[in-house]
Structure 1
Amino acid sequence: MNIQVNRSQKKKIGYFVGIFLLLLATTSCTPNAEEQFKAIDLPLIEKSESLERTGHLESCITLQNVFLKTFNADGYKAGEATCFINLAQLCFSADPKNYLIFLDEAKRKLVGSKSAAQMIRLYTAYAKYYNDIHMPNNAFYYTQKALTNAKKINDNEIKNNLLAEAYKIKGKIYADLLQSDSAYYYYYKSRLLKPGVIVDCLLAKAYLEDNKPDSAKAKLTQLEHLGDIKHTISYAMLMFNRVSGDYFFNQRQFNEAENAYLKSISILDSTKFFLGYNDVDLYKNMADIYYKRGDLKKEKYYITKWKLARMQQNKYIYESYEPAMASFLEEVTHKDRHDNNTMRLLMLVLSILVLFIVFFTFRIIKKHKLTKETSRKQTADFIKTIHDKRYDEVMVLAKENNSAFLSRFKDLYPKFIEALLIKNSTLENSEQVFCAYIKLGFTTKEIATYTFVQPMSVQQRKRRLRKRLGISSDVDLYTYFDNLTI
């Protein structure tokens, strides 16, 4: 639903802008960046979050545009950065392709800034973006930078607000990696500083994934009685119904699950909210419900919606890798330049970045010293295979769980299967397929999604595979298969 900015909303925005102009005028001579953030930026952030929370996306965008012009005219670059980060947050739910564009623009506005609060917001937003495109190491890098900057803030109100968001994102990263204990730890740290519907929904979702349905039910029951998510079209309401549907589906209460999922789909259809990678499985669950009822027409309809949504997600992630790594490399090399503080190194790094952007070659990627070995490996592997059509075909077949997958995989990695059979000549085709998924770097959650099983089943198969191949528990399977040769 393209929500129109009606007269009432325009009038409210007008009053809000008027108050802000007065605040800006009275604080423009204040040298303290922290006080300036609290007086000017924090109210704007809270107003923007309120509009987004209630689904008034168009009004929120209008608000950012008004303040961008105001801050630009007054030369308040940190304020402009606030608007760009706010716009990026909107893109997370409405237009994810522009998320990084707004964040990079905010980063340019904050060059030389002394505002630790602004830097925390920026780094937290980057962490959310990198986790969304399945680059957890990069996401951890930015959450650590956010938490480090928090030590520079004296005002507890500002610090607690920003730390709550950083902790929530860090919990989400751990949850997506199926590290439930760490996820709980950071979710609870977040809600201790700033309770909210979103973090409680994430907690309930983590309980479900950790096979704790009673804890999930208790959390959802608490949320059900909150007035601020009832009778509103909001991202919080979308999440609440989405997780409630998962709970009912998990408990085989299919009528209740259907009702909750339909409410989620209604909000999705009437807004521009964007589902996360694994959230699109609500369509697949709906298809399962109708399959059990024998309604094949609706089953086919939702299976089609699920496949289209997953294809859109895969396309988004694929297209995001290149600009995401370019942005991350710029951040890391900027840190190196600052540490060394020499003009020669500055020119060298800038030259390498230009060559990387122009030629996209693996040779140039190797010249960069990334602070994290895993990030360098991700970049090298991606650049090396981007033009390999056979690799692309194998990846597509794997994600579709296509019967031709193993045959194409053997063509691409003939010596890998030979090496496996040397280790154990009795490996069945299904076990070879499972090994191929691991060789291609798919996570436990991804393998579960593509092969239509639970993540717990994938973990069990990994343990059985270790016994079949004689691999000890302290050896990483992904590293082992990556180095496996005849």
Structure 2
Amino acid sequence: MGLFLAIISCSHDSHDKERESFDVSLLTQGSELQLSGEYEAFVRLNIIYLKKAVKMKYKEGKGLCYLNMAGVNVSAGNYEKARFFFIKAEKDLGNSENAYHKATFYDDYSLYYSHLKLNDKAIECNNKAFQYLKEAKKTKLTQKLLPRLYVNKGIYYAWKGWLGTSLKCFTKANALENSAYTNCMVAQYYLFIHEPDSAGIYIAKADEKMISQKTTDVESLWVYYTMGYYYNEVDNSEQAEKALKKALEINIKTRRTYSSHIKEVYKALADLYKKKNDGGKAYFYLKKYMEEEGSSDAARFAAMNKATEDFISEVKQESDWHKNDLPLFIALSITVLTVSGVYVHKMINGLKKKKNTLKEQTNALKNRVQTKQLEEITELAKRNDSSFLLKFKELYPDFIKVLLKINPDLENSELTFCAMLKLRFSSKEIADYTFVQHRSVQQKKYRIRKRLNIPGEIDIYDFFENLTE
């Protein structure tokens, strides 16, 4: 009997180790693929492990696959699909004897609610995650999850305005993990409450940890963005530009994951150059921000939607799938068709509103840039500066082209004179700025009329004003 019990015990231990190995491998690989933006590879991984869970008769393993699919749909903004997968995951994980399963479920669920700006629900789920994590046995997975629970709690409390509790959560997370990311989150808090001196201490620590520890590309991007934000706050434009440009470099690798990060980088660069009074670059990055705002969500949605459909079709072909799970595929197929249409409609409406707002901002900045350039070239003309014509061409690139099309033999001096008329300088002003007699300016006007075939009844200023229209 003792030998029999020993055999049963060994079998049970082996069974538990197999499942624990399943969990660690799935969640570790899944996290790496999600953070790298490899959606297709992420879905393929979950298909493999879903089939494996079926063969092992490990329903909690299936639940973790559904939870992964829910989480990646949240990051892509597919909240309806995420909700569907959360419901499926809860059925498999809700009664799990493994408290870590429940903790990670409620952690992901809290992030879902935070994306929907439902902070009270996010905090409620976060509290449940803490409760179950306390009951779970200590493993590498639980040690990794605990500081992230504190970070998320800090974010939720900050959004609710509970700043004291928020700071306690961030500092607790940092004490546990002490990584580039957790130091960065403490810095974010101090920037949020406008205490750049305190933020600077943690920015330096985040920079140090990013060099000494292995930091994911997505988290590095976020750290560099925070550094750029900090340096802009303390008027160190050179370091701010350097950090934000570094974030852009990292974006090449992570473009399909959490694209809201890169939108914020573009916005920060636009603000930086606006502060430096460099209207041209400010306009360029605001335009990039607007383009990213208008296209990234749709691109991510399309990629994630295709990946989700691949997940459905692949699993349908699994010969070992239980018959009682067939309704899942039917429901999921219907969901893909109906929810996609609803989501796309909502997304398009939202993008239209954002696009209109951004278009207004972009036009305002564009007008500001043009006004500043006009002031600059006007000042160059008043000083009779030789670079006047070159700068004028930058502001009115088509004007000179049209003049040369009318008469290819026009000289630079004549083009410069036409440019001054385009700016509506009077004959007296032109005479004063170019150090010639008023009569000479009148003669030049006459010659230009002949060279460009301008009829005598047409006002010469109106001719140049309407030349490029």
Q: TM-score range by the shorter chain?
A: 0.5 to 0.7
* Alignment counterpart, residue 121 of structure 2, candidates 138, 155, 170: 138
SS in 2 for 1:226: helix
Q: Which amino acid aligns with 1:243?
A: T
Q: Which amino acid aligns with 1:73?
A: K
Contact 1:117 1:150 in 2 (8 A): yes
> What is the aligned partner in structure 1 of residue 66 from structure 2?
84
> What is the aligned partner in structure 2 of residue 299 from structure 1?
282
Contact 2:188 2:226 in 1 (8 A): yes
Contact 2:35 2:257 in 1 (8 A): no
> What is the aligned partner in structure 2 of residue 106 from structure 1?
89
Deviation of 1:89 after TM superposition, in Å, equals: 4.0
Contact 2:203 2:227 in 1 (8 A): yes
> What is the aligned partner in structure 1 of residue 23 from structure 2?
41
Contact 1:254 1:289 in 2 (8 A): yes
Contact 2:180 2:215 in 1 (8 A): no
Deviation of 1:400 after TM superposition, in Å, equals: 7.3
Partner Cα separation in structure 2 for residue 400 and residue 177 of structure 1 = 27
Deviation of 1:147 after TM superposition, in Å, equals: 1.9
Deviation of 1:217 after TM superposition, in Å, equals: 1.7
- Residues 243-292 of structure 1 deviation map (CA, whole Å, 9 limit, x = unaligned): 01110111111222122112222333442121458x74432331233334
> What is the aligned partner in structure 2 of residue 193 from structure 1?
176
The structure that is helix-richer by fraction is 2
Does the alignment pair 1:120 with 2:120?
A: no
Partner Cα separation in structure 2 for residue 288 and residue 169 of structure 1 = 28
* Alignment counterpart, residue 257 of structure 2, candidates 262, 273, 282: 273
- Residues 360-407 of structure 1 deviation map (CA, whole Å, 9 limit, x = unaligned): xxxxxxxxxxxxxxxxxxxxxxxxxx99xxxx9xx989977999xxxx
Contact 1:229 1:236 in 2 (8 A): no
Contact 2:183 2:205 in 1 (8 A): no
Contact 2:181 2:206 in 1 (8 A): no
Deviates more, 1:76-85 or 1:290-299: 290-299
Deviation of 1:123 after TM superposition, in Å, equals: 0.5
Deviation of 1:116 after TM superposition, in Å, equals: 1.7
Deviation of 1:302 after TM superposition, in Å, equals: 2.1
Q: Which amino acid aligns with 1:63?
A: L
Partner Cα separation in structure 1 for residue 217 and residue 128 of structure 2 = 30
Contact 1:52 1:234 in 2 (8 A): no
Spell out the pairing of 1:400-415 with structure 2 (5 A cutoff). Answer: none
* Alignment counterpart, residue 57 of structure 2, candidates 57, 62, 75: 75
TM-score after normalising by structure 1: 0.53
Deviation of 1:37 after TM superposition, in Å, equals: 5.6
Q: Which amino acid aligns with 2:61?
A: G
* Alignment counterpart, residue 206 of structure 2, candidates 207, 211, 223: 223
Q: Which amino acid aligns with 1:258?
A: E
> What is the aligned partner in structure 2 of residue 129 from structure 1?
112
5+ residue gaps in structure 2? 1-7, 300-334, 336-344, 362-469
- Residues 418-463 of structure 1 deviation map (CA, whole Å, 9 limit, x = unaligned): xxxxxxxxxxxxxxxxxxxxxxxxxxxxxxxxxxxxxxxxxxxxxx
Higher relative contact order (CA 8 A, sep 6+): 2
Partner Cα separation in structure 2 for residue 120 and residue 309 of structure 1 = 35
- Residues 339-379 of structure 1 deviation map (CA, whole Å, 9 limit, x = unaligned): xxxxxxxxxxxxxxxxxx9xxxxxxxxxxxxxxxxxxxxxx
Deviates more, 1:266-275 or 1:243-252: 266-275
SS in 2 for 1:221: helix
Does the alignment pair 1:149 with 2:132?
A: yes
* Alignment counterpart, residue 218 of structure 2, candidates 235, 239, 242: 235
Q: Percent identity?
A: 22
Does the alignment pair 1:255 with 2:219?
A: no
Partner Cα separation in structure 2 for residue 217 and residue 140 of structure 1 = 29
Contact 2:180 2:210 in 1 (8 A): no
Spell out the pairing of 1:372-411 with structure 2 (5 A cutoff). Answer: none
Deviation of 1:134 after TM superposition, in Å, equals: 1.1
Query: Who wins on radius of gyration, i.e. which is larger?
Result: 2
Contact 2:102 2:129 in 1 (8 A): yes
Deviation of 1:50 after TM superposition, in Å, equals: 4.5
> What is the aligned partner in structure 1 of residue 47 from structure 2?
65
Deviation of 1:206 after TM superposition, in Å, equals: 0.8
Contact 1:78 1:109 in 2 (8 A): yes
Contact 1:165 1:190 in 2 (8 A): yes
Partner Cα separation in structure 1 for residue 135 and residue 27 of structure 2 = 20
Pick closer, same or farther for the CA change 1:251–1:260 going to 2, 3 Å.
Answer: same
Q: Which amino acid aligns with 2:115?
A: D
Deviation of 1:198 after TM superposition, in Å, equals: 2.3
Q: Which amino acid aligns with 2:209?
A: L
Pick closer, same or farther for the CA change 1:38–1:161 going to 2, 3 Å.
Answer: farther
Partner Cα separation in structure 1 for residue 153 and residue 209 of structure 2 = 25
Deviation of 1:235 after TM superposition, in Å, equals: 0.8
Contact 1:92 1:274 in 2 (8 A): no
Partner Cα separation in structure 1 for residue 296 and residue 109 of structure 2 = 18
Partner Cα separation in structure 1 for residue 86 and residue 243 of structure 2 = 34
Partner Cα separation in structure 2 for residue 51 and residue 95 of structure 1 = 17
Deviation of 1:44 after TM superposition, in Å, equals: 3.3
